[in-house]
Structure 1
Amino acid sequence: MFSQKVAQQSLRRLAVQQPYAMRWSMMGAASPAAVAIGKNVQTRQATSSTNTEDPTQILAKQRLNRPVSPHLSIYKPQITWIGSSLHRITGIALSGPLYLWATAYLASPLLGWHLESASIAAAFGALPVAAKILLKTVMALPFTYHCMNGVRHLIWDTGRALSNPSIIKTGWTVVGLAVSSALALALI
């Protein structure tokens, strides 16, 4: 109640201050006093249309005149947005098969599948050496990239290495470390 009275009194004081209101009108804007007492109400004339066109056709014609928004194809590829995209993609690529395998592992006794460690190791051991290295590389590369880039993001969370040169340098460092560690894991 008291705050309402104070607000009303201050608006009344503003309404009676002519030099202040004159200053606002000379700037081309409405004074606070004019806004407070309702003298600055904008109105718009109603227009009636006798157009018999189908409204969906009008909208379709308007869409043809709108500009097309740019796509990624017009931008020069940069390590920052490629690295960010790869981080998300590798996260999905790692979690999706994990959930599928875990579900299959839980359902395997009911379905008669043999997904225990011994049978998986025996199946993997029967593969040729080139297939083993290729399969291990395909499995290790998303894992190592996602881990290395996750460490990079944790460093960013501390507020370090946020300048453009250091972001570019750490991006290429993550790529190099991920590839070299994936190859090392594949050759073990």
Structure 2
Amino acid sequence: MNVTRVGLGSVLRRATVAPRIQSNQLIFRRAAFKRTIKTQTFLPEAAGDILNAQRLKRPSSPHFTIYQPQLTWYASIAHRMTGTALSVLLYGFALAYLAAPGTFSSKKIVEQVKKLPTSVKMGAKVLLAAPFTFHSFNGIRHLLWDMKLFMNVKGCYQTGYAVLGASAVSTAALVMM
């Protein structure tokens, strides 16, 4: 175990009292803090374990207890969730079609959908249209940001509400088709 004295005493002393060293040296020496800390030497192999233990204690970002939830925060989470859901749906259907093309043919899917009640069809349309429209319009919003447009707080909120409104209107239009 090594004992090291850490502090800014000598550096601060030289920087602040250099012109009048003689008169203020004793006062400043007593006022400048120094503390003794104990350091411990570890093997290089233990560095990874220490780093992983420190990472587990870090808060997530943004820290939920500090930041107030905002429209942009919710829109970002929803954009990621809708993108993931749409991707899983697309790849799942594509893999199912590759695995059993006879079972997942368009003709058989249309026949199965015709047998469903109207309320189930409408619900399925909403579940497909809402993420699709939101993700599409929010993607356009991100493209506008990439072009350095609406990059202030007012613009972020205006485009956020525009995305929500356009998503609602286009979801309703797609469901009624």
Aligned partner of 2:73 among 63, 71, 81: 81
1:185 to 164, 174, 177: 174
- 1:122 equivalent in alignment to 2:111: yes
SS of 2:148's partner is: coil
The 1-side partners of 2:91 and 2:69 are apart by 32
For each residue in 1:70-105, what CA deviation from the matched residue of structure 2 results, as whole angstroms up to 9, or x when unmatched? 742553221011101111111100001211111110
Q: Distance in 2 between matches of 1:126 and 1:185?
A: 21
When residues 127 and 68 of structure 1 are mapped into structure 2, their CA distance, relative to the original with a 3 A threshold, is same
| Structure 1 equivalent of residue 64 of structure 2 | 72
Structure 1 portions without partners, runs of 5+: 1-23, 29-44, 50-58
Q: C-alpha displacement at 1:184, in angstroms?
A: 1.0
Q: Please give the alpha-carbon distance, in whole angstroms, between the structure 1 residues aligned to 2:67 and 2:95.
A: 41
Partner residue, 1:168:
157
Other-structure match for 1:94: 86
- What is the aligned-residue RMSD (CA, Å)? 3.0
TM-score norm. by structure 1 comes to 0.61
**One-letter code of the match for 1:172?**
Y
Structure 1 104/48 Cα, relative in aligned 2: closer, same or farther at 3 Å? closer
Instruction: Name 1:139's counterpart in structure 2.
Output: 128
Q: In the aligned structure 1, how far is the partner of 2:176 from the partner of 2:37?
A: 77
Residue of structure 2 equivalent to 1:19: none
The yes-or-no answer on 1:26 pairing with 2:14 is: yes
Three-state SS of the structure 1 residue aligned to 2:68 is: coil
Distance 1:117 1:163 in 2: 47
SS at match of 1:27: helix
Could you list the runs of 5+ residues in structure 2 that have no partner in the other structure? 1-11, 17-35, 41-49
Q: How many Å apart are 1:26 and its aligned residue?
A: 3.4
Structure number, greater radius of gyration: 1
Q: Which amino acid aligns with 1:162?
A: M
User: 2:99 corresponds to which residue?
Assistant: 107
SS at match of 2:145: helix
Distance 2:68 2:37 in 1: 48
Structure 1 residues 47, 73: CA separation in 2 closer, same or farther (over 3 Å shift)? closer
Work out the CA distance in 1 between the residues paired with 2:148 and 2:86. 28
